[in-house]
A = this chain, B = another copy of it.
Amino acid sequence: VNLILITADERDERGEVVLADRRAEHLRSVLKIRPGQSLRIGQINGATGTGMVKAVDEHRVVLRCVFSGPPAQRPPVDLLLALPRPKVMKRLWAPLAALGVGRIILTNAQRVERYYFDSHVLDPAFYNAQLQTGLEQAMDTWLPAVSVHRQFKPLVEEELAGLVPDALRLVGDPAGPTRIAAELQATPQPRILLGVGPEGGWSDYELDLLQAHGFRRVGMGPRTLRTDTACIALIALCLDALP
């Protein structure tokens, strides 16, 4: 943990926060903090700052918080992801938040199994905790917005434009002809909406629908990668290509 995250409503009117959960435990047992020390803190979807340790006991840690850093910035990449199997999705949340993603749009697709949607990894309490782990690692405060869509067609045709306006739309495709940087050079945009398909790939119908709605196919060589590896690699390429 490189940053202690708090929410806006945890702060009282004097700017004090009382921690009594795993954060307090981590501060006591791992970081072995003492009164008077200062810690790097961040407010979820808010600014970063400094927390001065006012008191530590076996039940709680009291911090006096000053937020002097810049406000949270929405990372310039959003992700449209065909829901991977629960085991893969489980370990993908934290890296996505750590790399920095503005919005995570999970969708059904022909090669997504229905039962994936019943997994506890889609429970907001579960994924927000995982996302926060990634933010604590990367020292960021932007909690990605998450939405889950069981129907691909209305998502692409009707909802996507509202969720992510004004972004270069790219879809990863092992057979894709061009590179992310080349697409961005041809059509400069400040943001990218990146589509990543199921491990078996998008169906022809899905790829056609995406292309009909402005997505351009971008490749990363002929290798078939597991969804988590592909997401991390493609997001890294997007972030590197953006100004």
Binding site for B on A (CB under 8 A): 2, 91, 94-95, 98-100, 137-140, 179-181, 220-226, 228-229, 232-237, 239-240
Write the nearest CB–CB distance from A173 to chain B, whole angstroms.
15
- With a CB–CB cut-off of 8 A, which chain B residues contact A98? 223, 225-226, 229
Write the nearest CB–CB distance from A236 to chain B, whole angstroms.
4
CA distance A223 to B221 in the complex (A): 27
CA distance A139 to B224 in the complex (A): 7
Residue of B nearest to A229 (CB): B95
Given A99-B233, A233-B236, are A226 and B137 also a contact pair (CB < 8 Å)? yes
Partner of A225, one of B91, B138, B181: B138
The answer to whether B100 touches A223, judged by C-beta atoms less than 8 angstroms apart, is: yes
CA distance A124 to B34 in the complex (A): 44
CA distance A68 to B95 in the complex (A): 39
